[in-house]
Amino acid sequence: MRKANWPQAVFNLINWSTHGTAFKRLTRQQTIYTSKLLHQLTHTNRRDNLLYGHDRTCTLCLSEEETFSHVL
């Protein structure tokens, strides 16, 4: 809630029990990957740059920064 800068009202709109039920149906590996997708923590060159200082450019198009949105 703090990281996303959500007010309490937005946080309360999430159906947490359904969220939990969906996660119970996934394997551990699927749960980890899904969590990374939901929180935009999947590996991208932008994230790699923040962690290691590497080039942010997309390795496929070579013209834009590789962000989560760009990959999708």
Instruction: Say yes or no to pLDDT of 4 above 80.
Output: no
More confident residue, 42 or 60: 60
Asked if residue 34 lies in contact with residue 28, where contact means CB atoms within 8 angstroms, the answer is no
What's the whole-number average pLDDT of the chain? 87
Instruction: Say yes or no to pLDDT of 30 above 80.
Output: yes
* Average pLDDT for 32-53: 85
Q: How many helices (H) and strands (E) does the chain have?
A: 5, 0
> Quick one: pLDDT band at residue 55, thresholds 50, 70, 90?
very high
CA distances from 45 to 13, 33, 40, 69 (A): 32, 17, 13, 12
Query: Per-domain residue ranges for the chain?
Result: 8-39, 44-72
How many Cα atoms sit within 13 Å of 15 on the Cβ side? 5
* Average pLDDT for 43-57: 88
Does the global pTM surpass 0.85? no
